[in-house]
């Protein structure tokens, strides 16, 4: 197998442009194309590569690069899930590349459509880098977006060993961790850990759209966390959900059933019964709710934490801070002098006041020395 020397990125959104930036840093020649001329121009200006024009050279302005004249090593199709296969067929007809992949967040659909369109499946490996941001578009792209993140590859029986090897090389160049997984299993997994949670967050947030203003006045950090992802682009998400319809529907039905059962149990717990049976009846009904809460605790405990390992328990050191430039700098300065690494930090602002608390997450053994050092420097630890 030859090395990855030239790549064509079709679709210069967040993911496509991020891969391009990363490959450019590694010295790979990158051609860019997008149906949105502004997006491809922005990606080019960010240093992601040179524009690729499959069309007639006569149309081109002087000095603009076009089709390299021979197939590139790899075409990376970074377009919405339902148009991946069409794009693949078109590129293969043009002989654009030796190998092909895509980066859509669902995998069974593009593979099925590619088969239906008669694409050559020996040179195509369906892929999905598990990386994303709340922002989209080329301006949000970063070369390190894939660093240490899983990158699913879904080879089939038809995939040639050379194609798979080239793709493993791409993932490695981007700093990702290749995870080879069957396309159907992939889609079920992302339905569970990404697509259905997004819809559930939307449904919770949707209740707030028409809520009385006074109710919103009682909102705190909890509901902000639960609903944060629901701020994502509805158009983008409709495409993703539509491309993974059945696995997402399975999870949503189970979640809806649990919530309906919890609602029924709550109603039953509040229903009038003879006083002698009241406590027992309410207790039986509420056990459905308690059980759901326990299953929830078990589920959160299985989500991997930092550094890919199992979720870790850090100690939390809380410090009261003012809302002025330099407060955090001074705080972290003390941590540095004490030789303590801050693993994570969360600022809790007190609404309405220029004061808040910083939760510093540190290794359990570092909590006592850090607290002592902060107190010695005059910080207020509640």
Q: In the range 182-201, which residues lie near a second copy by CB under 8 A?
A: 185-186, 188-190, 192-194, 196-201
Residue whose CB is less far from a second copy, 50 or 249: 249
**Does residue 248 touch a second copy according to CB under 8 A?**
yes
In this structure, are strands 355-362 and 29-33 parallel, antiparallel, or unpaired?
Answer: unpaired
**Does residue 344 touch a second copy according to CB under 8 A?**
yes
**Does residue 308 touch a second copy according to CB under 8 A?**
yes
Q: Is 326 exposed, middle or buried (0-12, 13-18, 19+ CB in 10 A)?
A: exposed
CA–CA dist 84, 74 (Å, integer): 15
CA–CA dist 262, 268 (Å, integer): 10
- Choosing from 323, 364, 375, 377, the residue that interacts with a second copy (CB under 8 A) is 323
**Does residue 41 touch a second copy according to CB under 8 A?**
no
**Does residue 171 touch a second copy according to CB under 8 A?**
no
CA–CA dist 5, 30 (Å, integer): 9
- Choosing from 27, 63, 69, 326, the residue that interacts with a second copy (CB under 8 A) is 326
**Does residue 273 touch a second copy according to CB under 8 A?**
no
Q: Rounded to the nearest whole angstrom, what is the least distance from the CB of residue 179 to a second copy in the complex?
A: 7
Comparing CA positions, the residue from 15, 73, 24, 68 lying closest to residue 45 is: 24
**Does residue 306 touch a second copy according to CB under 8 A?**
yes
CA–CA dist 277, 208 (Å, integer): 37
Of the chain, the end-to-end C-alpha distance in Å amounts to: 61
Q: Rounded to the nearest whole angstrom, what is the least distance from the CB of residue 58 to a second copy in the complex?
A: 35
- Over the range 201-218, which residues count as b (16 or more CB within 10 Å of their CB) and which as e? bbeebeeeeeeeeeeeee
**Does residue 350 touch a second copy according to CB under 8 A?**
yes
| Interacting residues with a second copy between 213 and 232 (CB under 8 A) | 214-220, 222-232
**Does residue 139 touch a second copy according to CB under 8 A?**
no
Residue whose CB is less far from a second copy, 61 or 303: 303
| Interacting residues with a second copy between 76 and 135 (CB under 8 A) | 130-132, 135
CA–CA dist 244, 152 (Å, integer): 16
* Whether 372 contacts 340, CB under 8 Å: no
SS3 319: strand
CA–CA dist 223, 233 (Å, integer): 19
Sign of CA dihedral 47, 53, 58, 60: negative
Residue whose CB is less far from a second copy, 254 or 280: 254
* Whether 51 contacts 40, CB under 8 Å: yes
Residue whose CB is less far from a second copy, 164 or 203: 203
Residue whose CB is less far from a second copy, 204 or 376: 204
- Choosing from 81, 269, 374, 379, the residue that interacts with a second copy (CB under 8 A) is 269
- Choosing from 50, 89, 179, 373, the residue that interacts with a second copy (CB under 8 A) is 179
Q: Rounded to the nearest whole angstrom, what is the least distance from the CB of residue 103 to a second copy in the complex?
A: 14
**Does residue 378 touch a second copy according to CB under 8 A?**
no
Q: How far is CA 173 from CA 38, 148, 203, 266, in A?
A: 27, 11, 39, 53
Read off the tokens for 276.
């002698």
| Interacting residues with a second copy between 19 and 38 (CB under 8 A) | 21
**Does residue 294 touch a second copy according to CB under 8 A?**
yes
* Whether 154 contacts 185, CB under 8 Å: no
| Interacting residues with a second copy between 146 and 165 (CB under 8 A) | 147-150, 152
Q: Rounded to the nearest whole angstrom, what is the least distance from the CB of residue 316 to a second copy in the complex?
A: 8
- Choosing from 318, 363, 367, 369, the residue that interacts with a second copy (CB under 8 A) is 318
Among the candidate windows 35-43, 83-91, 92-100, 316-324, which touches a second copy by CB under 8 A? 316-324
Q: Rounded to the nearest whole angstrom, what is the least distance from the CB of residue 30 to a second copy in the complex?
A: 17
């Amino acid at each position: 197998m030859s090395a990855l020397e030239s790549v064509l990125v079709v679709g210069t959104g967040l993911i496509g442009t991020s891969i391009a930036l990363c490959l450019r840093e590694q010295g790979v020649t990158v051609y860019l194309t997008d149906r949105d001329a502004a997006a491809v121009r922005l990606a080019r200006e960010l240093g992601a590569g040179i524009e690729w024009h499959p069309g007639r050279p006569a149309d081109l302005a002087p000095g603009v690069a076009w089709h390299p004249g021979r197939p590139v090593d790899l075409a990376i199709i970074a377009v919405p899930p339902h148009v991946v296969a069409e794009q693949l067929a078109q590129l293969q007809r043009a002989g654009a590349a030796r190998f092909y992949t895509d980066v859509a967040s669902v995998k069974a659909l593009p593979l099925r459509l590619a088969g239906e369109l008669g694409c050559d499946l020996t040179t195509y490996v369906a892929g999905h880098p598990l990386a994303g941001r709340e922002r989209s578009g080329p301006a949000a792209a970063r070369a390190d977006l894939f660093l240490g993140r899983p990158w699913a590859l879904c080879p089939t029986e038809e995939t040639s060993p050379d194609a798979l090897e080239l793709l493993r090389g791409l993932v490695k160049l981007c700093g990702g961790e290749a995870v080879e997984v069957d396309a159907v299993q992939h889609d079920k997994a992302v339905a569970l850990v990404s697509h259905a949670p997004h819809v559930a967050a939307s449904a919770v947030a949707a209740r707030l759209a028409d809520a009385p203003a006074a109710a919103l006045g009682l909102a705190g950090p909890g509901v902000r966390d639960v609903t944060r992802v629901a701020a994502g682009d509805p158009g983008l998400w409709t495409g993703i959900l539509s491309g993974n319809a059945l696995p997402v529907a399975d999870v949503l039905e189970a979640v809806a059933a649990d919530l309906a059962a919890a609602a029924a149990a709550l109603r039953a717990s509040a229903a009038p019964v003879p006083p002698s049976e009241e406590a027992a009846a309410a207790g039986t009904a509420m056990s459905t709710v308690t059980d759901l809460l326990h299953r929830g605790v078990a589920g959160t405990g299985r989500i991997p934490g930092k550094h890919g390992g199992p979720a870790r328990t850090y100690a939390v050191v809380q410090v009261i801070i003012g809302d002025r430039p330099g407060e955090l700098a001074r705080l972290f300065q003390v941590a540095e002098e004490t030789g303590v690494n801050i693993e994570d930090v969360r600022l809790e602002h007190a609404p309405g006041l220029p004061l808040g608390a910083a939760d510093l997450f540190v290794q359990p053994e570092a909590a006592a020395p850090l607290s002592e050092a902060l107190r010695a420097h005059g910080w207020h630890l509640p």
